[in-house]
Structures are given as structure tokens and as C-alpha cells.
Amino acid sequence: MRTEIILLIDGSPHVRDAVARPFAEAGAYVKALASCAEAIGFLAMFRPDWILVGEKQLDELLFWLSEQEQQVDVPILLLPDLRPDPPDGGRNGQEPKAA
């Protein structure tokens, strides 16, 4: 069975990690990038099976892809602008204070 290649673009490292992890654990190769500039560099060399993109990067990505015939049939899934809590619950490494 062929490994799926998934390009993930989102500015938040927490979102990238949360979204990429289950795909990677299922055996997909996930290239998780923070910006469209990085993604365009990747797309110039590789053709992913799927593109998952955050709302803030969507317009720039679609503009670039509109001129790329070899990428025209790659499915694009929009990631809603979710901001999960960081791994420490947003405490920046500090323990919660008692009331």
C-alpha cells in the first residue's frame, strides 16, 4: 500500500501537531508547515495527495495553485480557525494558583 502524502499548512504549532499526529500514526507522511511560502517551496518539488490548510493561509495558497495545472486535482481541506490550548493549558509553565 502506498503512503499518503499530506501537506498541512497552519500558523499555529499546536494546531499543526494536533492535526498531523493522527495522520502520521496511521502511516501517512505529513509535511506540516507554518506558511504558504514554505508550502509553495514544497509544492514546487512534490505533489501531495491532500492539502490541509488553515483559514489564514487559504487565499494565498489558492492564488498560487490557480496557476499550477499539475496540482489542480489535489483535494484541499479547510481547517477551521481553531486554537486549542497549548500543552500546558496556557499557563506558560507555571502552576495554577490556589484561590
For the segment 4-62, what is each residue's pLDDT rounded down to a tens digit?
A: 999 999 999 999 999 999 999 999 999 999 999 999 999 999 999 999 999 999 999 99
Domain ranges of the chain: 5-79
C-alpha distances in Å from residue 17, one per residue of 1, 21, 90: 25, 6, 16
Selected from 3.40.50.620, 3.40.50.2300, 3.30.70.890, 3.40.50.300, the CATH number assigned to the domain covering 5-79 reads 3.40.50.2300
Say which residue the cell 484541499 belongs to. Answer: 76
Local confidence band at 82 (pLDDT 50, 70, 90 cut-offs): low
What integer pLDDT is reported at residue 95 of this predicted model? 65
